[in-house]
Amino acid sequence: MSLSDLKAFIIGWTGACGEALSKELAKRNTFKQVVLIGRRKVEFPSDDPRSNFEQEVVNFDELDQSKDAFKDCAVGFVTLGTTRAQAGAEGFKKVDYDYTMTVAKIAKEMGCQQLHYVSSQGANKDSMFLYQQTKGKVEHEMAQLGFEQLFIYRPALLLRGDKQRGLEKAAYIIMKPVTAFKPSWNQIKIEDVGRSIVAKSAEFGSGAKSEILTNGQMHQASQSLSE
């Protein structure tokens, strides 16, 4: 079965990576139907190809009441995420662990076969740092849910263009001499994150697998797509 016969959902699609992914899917008309799941509805300009996507508004604290939003979605993309600086420690854990794992469990229950999760470079459930520990814990627990295919992405520094955060801008400047020699080592454009995910989704139906993609492998996957 080809992707053009399938229905997919994106959750966290208003964030940088999710937005880039939604644009890539719309540009390529990848799926028969795409459901954008979020806290609010967004009005697209008429010339935005995402205006054809379905939107489902949910309450993340009561997500069990919105299971139908995931119905018949064979493929799922989870790009939820915040930071401790933005939401505080408890808010970060609520979004990046509680909400994310609830989404994964509901998706599995509703028949999702291929799940994609945007994690982070350095993810490790045994890390002493909250961010890496939380991402690693999610990776570990998602792998126990029994998806036919699970793709986990570990991007390094995200290049967001005019949406770059303060600390990210500083890190980019500091690491610029290194990346001049090896651009794929420690950074990646959000557009390339989206492209790498679309590239891996094409492996639907190719057999059971669980794969973790490093930043370098994401660059390679992105480059495998034709313009």
**Residue 12 burial by Cβ neighbours in a 10 Å radius (0-12, 13-18, 19+):** buried
- Residue (of 55, 18, 60) closest to 34 by Cα position: 55
Given a cut of 70, whether residue 226 has pLDDT beyond it is yes
Structure tokens at 166: 């303060």
Q: For residue 62, what are the domain limits?
A: 3-223
Q: What is the pLDDT of residue 162?
A: 55
Q: Reading across the β-sheet that carries 149-153, which strands appear in turn? A: 54-57, 33-38, 7-11, 75-78, 114-118, 149-153, 209-213
Residue % of the chain over a pLDDT of 90: 79
Prediction pTM value: 0.90
CA distances to 19, 101, 167, 205 from 186, rounded to whole Å, are: 21, 27, 15, 32
Q: What is the pLDDT of residue 38?
A: 96
User: What is the total count of domains within the chain?
Assistant: 1
- 8 Å CB contact between 38 and 76: no
Strand partners, 8: 34, 75
Strand partners, 34: 8
Judged by average pLDDT, the poorest of 163-172, 173-182, 196-205, 215-224 is 163-172
Given a cut of 80, whether residue 169 has pLDDT beyond it is no
Alpha helices in 12-165, H assignment, sequence order? 16-28, 84-93, 100-109, 130-142
Residues known to be catalytic? 131, 135
52-59 average pLDDT score:
96
Give me the CATH number covering residue 202.
Answer: 3.40.50.720
Judged by average pLDDT, the poorest of 21-30, 111-120, 158-167, 202-211 is 158-167
